[in-house]
Amino acid sequence: MTASASFLAIDLGASSGRLMDCRWDGRRFEIEELHRFPNGGVRSSTGLYWDVASIWNEIRTGLRKFTAQGREAPAAIGIDAWGVDYCLLDGADRLLGNPYHYRDARTNGLPEAMSAVVTGRELFNATGVQTMAINTSFQLASMVRSGDAQLEAARTLLMIPDYFQFLLSGEKRAEYTEATTSQLYDLRARAWSAETLRKLRIPAHIFPQVIQPGTRLGPLRAAVQAECGFSGALPCVAVASHDTASAVAAIPGLDETSVLLSSGTWSLMGVTADEPNLSDEFFGGGFTNEGSATGGVLLLKNRPGLWILQECVRVWEAAGRCIAWAELEEAAKQAAPFRSFIDPAAPELQAPADMCVAVQRFCAESGQPVPETPGEIARCVFESLSFSYRAVVESLARITRRELRTVRVVGGGCLNHFLCQMTADACGREVVAGPVEAAALGSGLLQAVATGHLRNLAEARAALAESVACDVYQPQSGAAWAEAYARYRAVAARG
């Protein structure tokens, strides 16, 4: 281990972005938020998009805040973001329009419409990724089907974090963990899937070289250095640029007996492995394979998460009723338990105009009491999420033949103590929650390794374990939980 240093972590989420200073003092890590900004889709008459110019402006604002404080020059900078979305560049490296948001309606029904061309099982065999309409594969297929001029003019495709890395360093590369979210990358061959690209008629020449997490790129562009006030060259590092992989990199104590849970807008739950699992049982269970920060694989189940309640809060705020998350959690505690459940992955809950109405309608149509108050709706969602986690843990234990004793939660969901305890009770397993800013810390760890401040990721994780305090929740479930879980399974099975 070597001397102290700062590592700048740009962590872009689907609802907010932040720039964090991950400081290493030779023994421990500390993290400080420098800049946070809201993020989200921008709707126009032609669709739902990401405003990448605004995001880039916020990134530069965060960098200027760092230098304005007169801090010692950072040792490196890295960026992570959500998966599946991408930018298209022309031959002069100019952006061909704002990139689409994964929730844009242009891919609705496309997997079913294209099943005669390529089935979900064929895509899974080729890439290890489950079919979802939001995947990069179907976003690009929709452009092929419509004869989109932007795709015809494109010379380079860069996934969202890779695009901002290009703006930082000038290098056009595809980072491994982000590439694996696309449903266009062959995890066994470790290359873009030529078979999938051919079947979907997606031009192969637009896909750049894939590099591994921890790869050192060129220095921060001179123009960005000058604008943001850096006095010297700042190394750019391709960290685990998919935010889930970055968050998993920062889970202390992650081992063969652990289930990881990245809890935020989405809930991603799974285990680590060296190779993808392409079995019928894994495919039939709705699991997927994505790249890990070590160059291995995360065996995951991707489920809707706190986005359901985020949408409810948005509806209440639009109606003039502002409810803080702490207030909503307390209201949920006071609501009667086990009255009604939803299937978080039900199609009717994925993009409704009014999420509160959608939750109520789901309960009514499944013959359950309808939650009316914010507390009742929140309780319904929290219990349903926790039971969905139990279903995933049970499936993972059966498929991997592992004794899974601990659920390790990272991300914003760590802050919801009620949901964490409920997860322990529902799963019948110890829950260890923390760190909250895991994606940014994971970025910092990989930068520390890439710059030689730490020897490897295992050493970095051990140092992190000494640096962060995690909350531990012991299961307190009983017969009522078992009976409620049986009712949840019956409700979830109706779809």
Q: What is the mean pLDDT of each run of 10 residues along the chain (495 residues)?
A: 85 94 95 96 96 98 95 95 98 98 95 96 98 97 97 98 98 98 98 98 98 97 96 93 96 95 92 97 96 97 91 95 94 97 94 95 97 98 97 97 97 93 97 96 98 95 94 92 96 84
pLDDT at 287: 97
Measured distance CA(449)–CA(249) in Å, rounded = 12
Residues 291, 258, 247, 268: is their CA dihedral positive or negative?
Answer: positive
pLDDT at 231: 87
Annotation says 25 is catalytic: no
pLDDT tens profile 175-226: 999 999 999 999 999 999 999 999 999 999 999 999 999 999 999 999 999 9
How large is the C-alpha radius of gyration of the chain? 22
Contact by Cβ (8 Å): 411, 264: yes
Task: Return the closest-CA partner of residue 471 out of 398, 392, 404, 418.
Answer: 418
Two structure tokens written together for 203: 């031009």
Beta bridge partners of 349: none
Measured distance CA(316)–CA(319) in Å, rounded = 5
Distances (CA, A) of 241 to 43, 275, 423, 447: 26, 20, 28, 12
* 345-352 long-range contacts, CB within 8 A, separation 24+: 345/303, 345/304, 345/388, 345/495, 346/495, 347/495, 349/304, 349/308, 350/304, 351/103, 351/105, 352/311
Measured distance CA(48)–CA(55) in Å, rounded = 16
Q: β-strand 471-473 against 430-433: which pairing, if any?
A: antiparallel
Helix (H) or strand (E) holding 424: helix 417-427
Measured distance CA(178)–CA(432) in Å, rounded = 26
Report, at the CATH architecture level, how domain 5-238 is classified. 2-Layer Sandwich (3.30)
Q: Phi-psi bin for 470: left (phi > 0), alpha (psi -120 to 50), beta?
A: beta
Active-site residue identified among 243, 274, 354, 425: 243
pLDDT at 15: 86
Measured distance CA(50)–CA(30) in Å, rounded = 31
Model pTM score: 0.92
pLDDT at 495: 60
| Ranges of CATH 3.30.420.40 domains, the chain | 5-238, 251-434+455-495
pLDDT tens profile 445-461: 999 999 999 999 999 99
At a CB cut-off of 8 Å and minimum separation 6, what does 462 contact? none
Beta bridge partners of 11: 18, 80
b/e map 181-193, b = 16+ CB within 10 Å: bbbbbbbeeeebb
Name residue 20's amino acid.
M
Q: What is the largest CA-CA distance in the chain?
A: 65
pLDDT at 304: 87
Contact by Cβ (8 Å): 159, 173: no
Helix (H) or strand (E) holding 355: helix 355-365
Distances (CA, A) of 353 to 201, 254, 305, 306, 358: 33, 39, 17, 17, 8
Name residue 402's amino acid.
R
Measured distance CA(165)–CA(171) in Å, rounded = 7
Contact by Cβ (8 Å): 386, 425: yes
pLDDT at 303: 87
At a CB cut-off of 8 Å and minimum separation 6, what does 410 contact? 247, 248, 250, 251, 260, 261, 262, 263, 433, 434, 435, 436, 438
Contact by Cβ (8 Å): 421, 273: no
pLDDT at 74: 95
Contact by Cβ (8 Å): 58, 487: no
Angle 316-319-324 (CA atoms, 0-180°, nearest 5)?
35
Helix (H) or strand (E) holding 395: helix 374-400
- Classified as helix, coil or strand, 287 is coil
Measured distance CA(268)–CA(491) in Å, rounded = 21
Instruction: Mention the CATH class of domain 251-434+455-495.
Output: alpha beta
